Chain A
Amino acid sequence: MIPILEIKDLHKSFGKQKILDGVDLSFEEGKITVIIGKSGTGKSVLFKNMIGLYIPDSGKILYKGELLTGASDARWAEIRSKTGYLFQDAALFDSMTVEENIAFPLVEVKRIKNKKEIAEKVREKLEWIELPGIEKKYPSQLSGGMRKRVGLARALILEPEILFFDEPTTGLDPILADSIDKLTLKVNKELGLTCIVISHDIPAAFRMADKLAFLYEGKVIFSGTPQEAASFKNDVLESFIKNSFTELKFKKER
């Protein structure tokens, strides 16, 4: 089966700083792939290359076998309309209400003008993310978890095929983080979307991923199932996993 998205030998540098150094990775349709790795290893840069916000120095990006690197802006725009992106801090437009935020892609991309139809779609999405009745609130009036849910509703409104999650649980308390993870699974199961997640929450990544990829120094040094990751022999990955699954330890009394 052809992967929905495939990356081959991708390189990206900023000035003299090499961020991606030959990334090879493929994403299967309808599955959850979680990309893990230390901070500053280029996970977000990889995402932005995959969605066409950055132009890679070399390498290939393929969507269902179609080469996207070097594609026209119009083609990238079409591809982007099939994807949703949940940003780390949700990136809601703070001058707009929740309703206007979620409706933004409908108005600006789909050019829907019927206000009733827009309001209905927004209401449906807010109910789906279990936050009904907050249409008239502004992002500054919402908690971090609510903002991320609204960001997810906005990403889902165009009914994409692929959803990118850029550290969706960073900065949230464990209960809220768990609720966002459950929402990710719900998106995958109920809507059948391909989910690509960047996460620092390793236990959660193991719980929900169909496939894990470990990015280290600009390369993917492991990709496979969570079970395979647990038995993979690599010092860095092992220490990464070990430090994330420790038993409770308390500060020693002085």
Chain B
Amino acid sequence: MDLKFVKDKFVSFFEKLGEFYLFMFEVVKLSFKRPFRIKLIFEQIENIGVNSVFIVSLASLSVGMILALQIVYIMRMFRSEIMAGATVAMAYGREMAPIMTALMVIARNGSSMSAELGTMSVTEQIDAMKTMSVNPIHYLVVPRVIAAVIVFPFLTAFSNVVGVTGGYIVSVLMEKVNKGAFLEQMFWYTDPVDIYSGIMKSAVLGFIVSVICSYHGFYTTGGAKGVGESTTKAVVVSAIAILVADYFMSYLMVLFLY
């Protein structure tokens, strides 16, 4: 590996980063510009939100059950299995629900967002929009981003409920943890701020996922192969980005909120 190769990679990385930030600022700027395409936003809300409820529920229920199972077994060593409810609820409220929601939406919608925009890009549909003086970021990307920011908190709230239900099923119905103690500890230790913080985070994650996936689709080149590559990149980059962003948001929340 020679020096030129490293230098080229380095320059190309920062070029892409700059392009991404310009794209993101353009999306933010255009989100406040007329016309507001309400119909397109609702279409995307249905696509990202309503159609994702099942997959988010399934994943949240499974992870809630797994989490409760492990917690009950570990806590039982200290005769504290009644804490399972509080632990699952706090973990879900603060971290698991926004992350599970974001990961499931990336898998289901992030990939399709990138593939759809990528196909539009390689078949010149995005250029066609530009020739008609319609800003394709305004028409195609902004409704997706607004919809994601609206829908993520609702999906996260839903994920909370389903995850805790999963925890209840395993702890109370299967592992015979005392029902009253389980619920009492859960309501005692879980504060509204645990739920709100997760929901606030999820709006930011919704923005990150939709912008990254749209960006990768929007600048796709190179035909079908390019669409495949950009979809893969969109999924990988957005999955890593939400985990990193979640850590920093959690850190700030631990310092100032909890």
Contacts and interface: CB of A to CB of B under 8 A. Distances in A.
Contact of B133 (A48, A87, A109): A109
A105 interface: yes
A138 interface: no
User: Which one of B120, B124, B127, B133 has the greatest number of beta carbons of chain A within 10 Å?
Assistant: B133
8 contacts: A77-B133, A78-B133, A81-B133, A85-B128, A87-B127, A94-B125, A105-B134, A111-B35
B132 A108 contact: yes
A53 to B, nearest CB: 6
Interface string A108-143: 110100000000000000000000000000000000
Contacts of A105: 132, 134
Given A53-B127, A109-B133, 14 more contacts: A51-B131, A78-B133, A80-B130, A80-B132, A83-B131, A89-B123, A89-B124, A93-B120, A93-B128, A95-B116, A108-B132, A108-B134, A108-B139, A109-B132
Interface of B: 35, 116, 119-120, 123-125, 127-128, 130-134, 139
B141 to A, nearest CB: 15
A81 to B, nearest CB: 5
B127 A91 contact: yes
Contacts of B116: 95
Contacts of B125: 91-94
User: Range of interface residues on chain A?
Assistant: 20 to 34
A69 interface: no
A104 interface: yes
B131 A85 contact: yes
A111 B125 CA distance: 20
B19 to A, nearest CB: 15
A13 interface: no
A97 interface: no
A62 B38 CA distance: 38
A48 B35 CA distance: 26
A60 to B, nearest CB: 21
Contacts of A111: 35
- Which 7 A/B pairs are nearest by Cβ-Cβ distance? A91-B128, A77-B133, A85-B131, A91-B124, A80-B133, A108-B134, A105-B132
A136 B132 CA distance: 22
A109 B132 CA distance: 7
Nearest to A164: B131
A26 interface: no
B124 A88 contact: yes
A81 B234 CA distance: 34
A63 B66 CA distance: 67
Nearest to A111: B35
Contact of A104 (B120, B127, B130, B132): B132
Contacts of B35: 111
A91 B130 contact: no
A81 B129 CA distance: 11
Contacts of A91: 123-125, 127-128
Interface string A68-108: 00000000011011011101110111110000000011001
Contacts of B139: 108
A225 B31 CA distance: 50
Contacts of A94: 119, 123, 125
Contacts of B123: 89, 91, 94
A59 B57 CA distance: 58
Contacts of B127: 48, 53, 87, 91
Residue from A81, A83, A95, A108 with most neighbouring chain B CB atoms (10 Å): A108
